[in-house]
Amino acid sequence: MTSVQRIISPGATLGVLGGGQLGRMFAMAARRLGYRIHVYCPEGDTPAAPVADRIFHAPYEDLDAVRGFARTVDVVTFEFENVPSATSEACAESVPVRPEGRVLHLTQHRLREKGFLRDHGFPVTPFRAIGSLADLQTATRELGLPGVLKTASFGYDGKGQRTLRDAAEVPAAFDGLEGEEGIYEALVDFALEVSVVGARTLDGAFAAFPVFENAHAHHILDVTVCPARIPPDLEAGARALSRGILEALGVVGLLTVELFVTRDGRLVVNELAPRTHNSGHLTLDACVTCQFEQQVRAVCGLPLGSTDLRRPAAMANLLGDVWKDGGPRWDRALADPDVKLHLYGKAAPRPGRKMGHLTTTAPTAGEAIAAVRAARARL
Provide DSSP, 34-94. T-EEEEEES-SS-TTGGG-SEEEES-TT-HHHHHHHHTT-SEEEES-S---HHHHHHHHTT
Residue extent(s) of CATH 3.30.470.20 domains in the chain: 190-377
Q: What is the pTM of this model?
A: 0.95
Q: What is the pLDDT of residue 2?
A: 38
User: How many other C-beta atoms lie within 10 A of the C-beta of residue 268?
Assistant: 17
**Could you report the per-residue pLDDT of 338-355, keeping only the tens digit for each?**
999 999 999 889 999 999
Residue extent(s) of CATH 3.40.50.20 domains in the chain: 3-97
Which positions of the chain have pLDDT values less than 50? 1-5
CATH 3.40.50.20 for the 3-97 domain, yes or no: yes
Provide the pairing of β-strand 161-164 with 147-151: antiparallel
Q: What is the pLDDT of residue 151?
A: 94
CATH class, domain 190-377, is alpha beta
Residue extent(s) of CATH 3.30.1490.20 domains in the chain: 126-186
CATH architecture of residue range(s) 126-186: 2-Layer Sandwich (3.30)
Q: What is the pLDDT of residue 45?
A: 85
**Could you report the per-residue pLDDT of 59-107, keeping only the tens digit for each?**
999 999 999 999 999 999 999 888 999 999 999 999 999 999 999 999 9
